[in-house]
Chains A and B, each alone.
Chain A
Amino acid sequence: MKKLLLISALVACSLFGAEQVDGWQVSGRLSAYIESVDVDGGRTSSSEREKTTHNEELNLNFRGPLGKGEAGLESRMRTTNSDSIQAHGAELLYMKAYYRDKIWTVEAGDVAASLNPYIFSGSVKGAKAVYKSDEKDHTWNYTVITGAQTASWRDLLEDGGDDNPTTFTGGFEAKYIHERSKEIALSFAALDVASDINATAKNGYGLGIDGKWRFNKYVTLKGRAAFTDGKEDSNSSSSTAVYLKLLTRPVLKSVKSDFVYQRVDSDFVSFGGSANDDKEQIENSTTWTINKELRARMDLKYSRNNLDGTVTNGTQNIYYEAVSLTYNPSFLERGDFNFRLTNKDIDDDVTDSNRLTAGVDFNLRQKSGWRYGAGYDYSDQDDNNASSTRTHTIKGLLGYKQNLGKDSSYRFTVRPNYQLIENSQDKIGFKIDAGYVHNKRLSADIMYMINDTDYDSSSTSNNTQNATYQFRSTYKLDTKGRNILRLLLEKRDVHVDDTADSTYNEYRGKVSLVMNF
């Protein structure tokens, strides 16, 4: 009888489980907040205005079995009264319907693809299909995507006519992948902006090839190239772009050295993707683990523009060099010393600027929970050999974190800092951040930050004092943390000497709720 009951229970459980698996499911997330800002004192000077804003976002997803695969609908919408977030009160941000099985993925709505970035990269409102062959040691992937390139569904429905016509684009890629280590892809993309106004009309196509090839443990080559042809702003052009990255491990486990070469024609127009045109660059980045205690990194970069010689100010050359060393001594198990040096030169026929930076710092994290840190940074910005700005920054860190058992802990961090800009100003301040977590469900944090800036007597600027007080709290409404309530209270005091109108206080309160279902 017991076994019968057990079997019945198992059958019931299996059936119930099958219902869960086979049935359609609804899931999503609701996040909402309300925020209030108040200002007193020199109201005209504050960046904030007295206001109360609210924002609600809803992610809603349906999914379930269909045929041999799974189908679903995903959506995200937002309502708000804040103009800085969106122009309209309510907006549909995202919507996608899909079907996928082992071989096919078909999507409609907001669809995205990352093909060769020169050719097609991004999202459109349209449709996408992906076919994956099911071989053991290699696979063929075919992707086709097409649709309208607009930021919102509203823009798509409210086509702006000739002044702001809708852009239609499409892309196709065939990719061959061999044992995960070698892949090669051919892609094609086309774009069309239909308009009677020549300046906004744009159409063209691009062809690309990209891939990676891991020869062995020591050498891997990644690369892509593209050719585009089309018309933009009434000018017709055809141009090319190429990118090569060689990853080498000359001494396995201790040295890696990566080389990059990129050249994008000055009139290169990426019709479905994106690229910084008129640029040639060569880079090397080398990391050397000298031993268990010492690691070094060096970056060398060079780039130039004016590839067709038409830039008015002549060719701009940018040289960048950086060296850094990390020393992690064995006698300080959880401590390290760091040194870094960078130099950047930018020159053309008009500009000649140089920026040199150097820095050292020390960090120590003890098992007892204490953390210590100190650092010094120096920078010298030299423009056209005429003006030089030298800045010295000293930073400190003292922190402590202690577990109290049962997932409870408290911590605090103090970060003092001092900055001197020679012949101009000096700034001193510090930041304290402290927090308490109770049972991983409730956390409360406070932050206090103060900065005092004094200008040299030769300067016409007025000295300022600025203080921020902040209280943050998080409460998980359930043990899994799926529903979370957050609170933020903040006060900022700004005082500017000799200008009464600029002394003011800002108060901010924000309550937010996240619910996952």
Chain B
Amino acid sequence: MVKNTCVILLLLLATFSFAASEYDKDIVVKDQTRNDKVTEVFRAMMNAYEEEDIRLFFSYVSEDRFEQDYMTFYDAIDQDIRVYDILSVDTWVDKITEDGYKRFLYVQWTKRYLATTSDREINQRGYSRFLFDEVNGKYKLIELAGNNFWGKSLREWTEEVPQIAGQEPENTVSGGGALPDLTVTIPAGGGISDVAFNINNTGTATAIAPIYYKIEYCGGTIEKPYEENILPGDSTTYPIIEPLPVCNFGGQTVTILVDSTKEINELDEYNNDVSKVVE
């Protein structure tokens, strides 16, 4: 009797356990499908971005449900395409978390690109979060957070992107509107064979190194990184001195452009250069 009862109990237990595992399996399969859908949409968006197909890209964004400013995001993607030549992008989905039908996609990424104003190749890495929701049966992007994988070139947009834990340090401090603002000043004096200048940060956030500067002089260019962070209100510790070729006797016009790689989001993007005749 006891033996039979034990067998029945074991069978019941086994039945419940199998039933439970089948149920779990069902849920897992459903969730997996949703996660796959979201990952697929994200890959399609990435390809559209790499191919610079702005219309296709925005077909995966929900204008009605977008939680940030849709028009600013459109401007930012448009600006990215003008300012950067994307060479390659690699992404790795770190995790997908859910909130009802919504899916938060956490992605690690690297991006290799050229700024059209620069001769240097930039390698950038980041960690971002993309929020997708089901709209009319299809998953669409409704929010971005973390490092600016898309739209980095437009300050108005980066101000709207919240920070997340684990992201790489960036020149954008979210929320408070704090940003660096880089300017160049050439102190009085200087010789015929070199140019001395200071890079200043008159903004409200730290400018994070490397800060590229580009010097255009009689036919040639020099582009180099300044490797120290510059605090708000601060300047380069010592003037940067670059020797220049002597190519005239009556003075040459030298133009210095700071943030030549367009890597740093600033309060004012149009005060980065200065020209001077070096006597």
Residues of chain A touching chain B, judged by Cβ–Cβ distance below 8 Å, are: 42, 44-47, 82, 84-86, 114-117, 121-123, 151, 210, 222, 224, 243, 247, 253, 256, 270, 273-276, 287, 289, 297, 326, 333-334, 363, 365, 411, 413, 427, 431, 433, 435, 437, 440, 443, 445, 447, 449, 451-453, 455, 459-466, 468, 470, 472, 474, 480-481, 486, 492, 494, 496, 499, 501-502, 504
In angstroms, Cα B58 to Cα A124, docked, is: 41
Could you mark each residue 142-158 of chain B with 1 if its beta carbon is under 8 Å from any beta carbon of chain A, else 0? 00000000000000000
Q: In the bound complex, do residue B121 and residue A472 qualify as a contact, i.e. CB atoms below 8 Å apart?
A: yes
In angstroms, Cα B177 to Cα A462, docked, is: 47
Contact partners of A502 in chain B: CB under 8 A: 245-247
Given A114-B173, A273-B204, A461-B218; A47-B250 close (CB under 8 Å): no
Q: In the bound complex, do residue A85 and residue B245 qualify as a contact, i.e. CB atoms below 8 Å apart?
A: no
Binds A, one of B38-46, B71-79, B126-134: B71-79
Contact partners of A463 in chain B: CB under 8 A: 219
**How many A-B residue pairs lie within 8 Å, measured between CB atoms?**
156
Q: In the bound complex, do residue B219 and residue A117 qualify as a contact, i.e. CB atoms below 8 Å apart?
A: no
Enumerate the 7 nearest inter-chain pairs by beta-carbon distance, A residue then B residue, closest first: A464-B219, A461-B248, A274-B232, A453-B219, A460-B250, A117-B204, A45-B245
- Closest chain B residue to A433, Cβ basis: B114
Partner among A247, A462, A492 whose Cβ is within 8 Å of the Cβ of B247:
A462
In angstroms, Cα B20 to Cα A52, docked, is: 66
Contact partners of A462 in chain B: CB under 8 A: 218, 247-248
Could you mark each residue 242-257 of chain B with 1 if its beta carbon is under 8 Å from any beta carbon of chain A, else 0? 1111111110100000
Q: In the bound complex, do residue B219 and residue A122 qualify as a contact, i.e. CB atoms below 8 Å apart?
A: no
Partner among A334, A466, A481 whose Cβ is within 8 Å of the Cβ of B221:
A466
Q: In the bound complex, do residue B71 and residue A464 qualify as a contact, i.e. CB atoms below 8 Å apart?
A: no
8 Å CB interface, B101-125 against A: 110, 112, 114, 119, 121, 123
Contact partners of A270 in chain B: CB under 8 A: 233
Contact partners of A117 in chain B: CB under 8 A: 176-178, 204-205
Q: In the bound complex, do residue A210 and residue B245 qualify as a contact, i.e. CB atoms below 8 Å apart?
A: no
In angstroms, Cα B219 to Cα A492, docked, is: 12
Q: In the bound complex, do residue B232 and residue A273 qualify as a contact, i.e. CB atoms below 8 Å apart?
A: yes
In angstroms, Cα B176 to Cα A210, docked, is: 8
Given A45-B245, A256-B71; A86-B173 close (CB under 8 Å): no
Which among B218, B222, B244 has the greatest number of chain A C-beta atoms within 10 A? B218
In angstroms, Cα B156 to Cα A222, docked, is: 13
Contact partners of A44 in chain B: CB under 8 A: 193, 243
Q: In the bound complex, do residue B245 and residue A494 qualify as a contact, i.e. CB atoms below 8 Å apart?
A: yes
In angstroms, Cα B173 to Cα A483, docked, is: 29
8 Å CB interface, B33-81 against A: 51-53, 55, 63, 69-72, 75, 78
Contact partners of B55 in chain A: CB under 8 A: 333-334
Q: In the bound complex, do residue A451 and residue B245 qualify as a contact, i.e. CB atoms below 8 Å apart?
A: no
Contact partners of B249 in chain A: CB under 8 A: 460
Q: Is B11 an interface residue (CB 8 A)?
A: no
Contact partners of A466 in chain B: CB under 8 A: 219-221
B251 to chain A, nearest CB (A): 8
Partner among A114, A461, A480 whose Cβ is within 8 Å of the Cβ of B178:
A114
Q: Is B85 an interface residue (CB 8 A)?
A: yes
- Could you list some 28 contacts between A and B, CB below 8 A? A44-B243, A45-B246, A47-B244, A82-B227, A86-B228, A116-B176, A121-B204, A122-B231, A122-B232, A243-B177, A253-B70, A273-B178, A273-B232, A289-B71, A334-B53, A431-B119, A435-B87, A445-B87, A461-B250, A461-B252, A462-B247, A464-B219, A468-B119, A481-B90, A486-B123, A492-B220, A496-B219, A499-B245
Other than the known A451-B219, A468-B119, A496-B246, what 10 A-B pairs have Cβ atoms closer than 8 Å? A45-B244, A117-B204, A122-B232, A247-B69, A275-B204, A334-B55, A447-B119, A461-B252, A494-B245, A499-B246
Contact partners of B227 in chain A: CB under 8 A: 82, 84-86
Q: Is B202 an interface residue (CB 8 A)?
A: yes
In angstroms, Cα B246 to Cα A46, docked, is: 10
Q: In the bound complex, do residue A121 and residue B88 qualify as a contact, i.e. CB atoms below 8 Å apart?
A: no
Q: In the bound complex, do residue A122 and residue B220 qualify as a contact, i.e. CB atoms below 8 Å apart?
A: no
Contact partners of B69 in chain A: CB under 8 A: 247, 256
In angstroms, Cα B228 to Cα A256, docked, is: 38
Partner among A114, A326, A470 whose Cβ is within 8 Å of the Cβ of B205:
A114
Which among A86, A431, A499 has the greatest number of chain B C-beta atoms within 10 A? A499
- Closest chain B residue to A495, Cβ basis: B219
Contact partners of A451 in chain B: CB under 8 A: 219-221
Q: In the bound complex, do residue B71 and residue A45 qualify as a contact, i.e. CB atoms below 8 Å apart?
A: no
Given A45-B193, A86-B228; A464-B88 close (CB under 8 Å): no
- Closest chain B residue to A494, Cβ basis: B220
In angstroms, Cα B217 to Cα A46, docked, is: 12
Q: Is B190 an interface residue (CB 8 A)?
A: no
Which among A115, A122, A452, A468 has the greatest number of chain B C-beta atoms within 10 A? A122
8 Å CB interface, B143-185 against A: 173-178
Which among A46, A326, A472, A481 has the greatest number of chain B C-beta atoms within 10 A? A481
Contact partners of B203 in chain A: CB under 8 A: 274
Given A122-B231, A453-B219; A496-B112 close (CB under 8 Å): no
Q: In the bound complex, do residue A460 and residue B248 qualify as a contact, i.e. CB atoms below 8 Å apart?
A: yes
In angstroms, Cα B194 to Cα A44, docked, is: 11
Contact partners of B252 in chain A: CB under 8 A: 461
In angstroms, Cα B51 to Cα A334, docked, is: 10
Q: In the bound complex, do residue B219 and residue A480 qualify as a contact, i.e. CB atoms below 8 Å apart?
A: no
B219 to chain A, nearest CB (A): 3
Contact partners of A334 in chain B: CB under 8 A: 52-53, 55
Q: Is B265 an interface residue (CB 8 A)?
A: no
In angstroms, Cα B193 to Cα A453, docked, is: 19
- Closest chain B residue to A42, Cβ basis: B245
Contact partners of B215 in chain A: CB under 8 A: 47
In angstroms, Cα B236 to Cα A85, docked, is: 12
- Closest chain A residue to B90, Cβ basis: A481
Contact partners of B247 in chain A: CB under 8 A: 461-462, 464, 496, 499, 502
Given A117-B176, A453-B218; A256-B72 close (CB under 8 Å): yes
In angstroms, Cα B177 to Cα A243, docked, is: 11
Q: In the bound complex, do residue B205 and residue A501 qualify as a contact, i.e. CB atoms below 8 Å apart?
A: no
Contact partners of A468 in chain B: CB under 8 A: 119
Contact partners of B228 in chain A: CB under 8 A: 85-86, 151
A441 to chain B, nearest CB (A): 10
B88 to chain A, nearest CB (A): 6
Q: In the bound complex, do residue A46 and residue B204 qualify as a contact, i.e. CB atoms below 8 Å apart?
A: no
In angstroms, Cα B51 to Cα A222, docked, is: 36
Partner among A210, A274, A459, A461 whose Cβ is within 8 Å of the Cβ of B204:
A274
Contact partners of A256 in chain B: CB under 8 A: 69, 71-72
In angstroms, Cα B222 to Cα A401, docked, is: 29
A104 to chain B, nearest CB (A): 14
In angstroms, Cα B221 to Cα A45, docked, is: 13
Contact partners of A481 in chain B: CB under 8 A: 90, 92, 110
Q: In the bound complex, do residue B205 and residue A45 qualify as a contact, i.e. CB atoms below 8 Å apart?
A: no
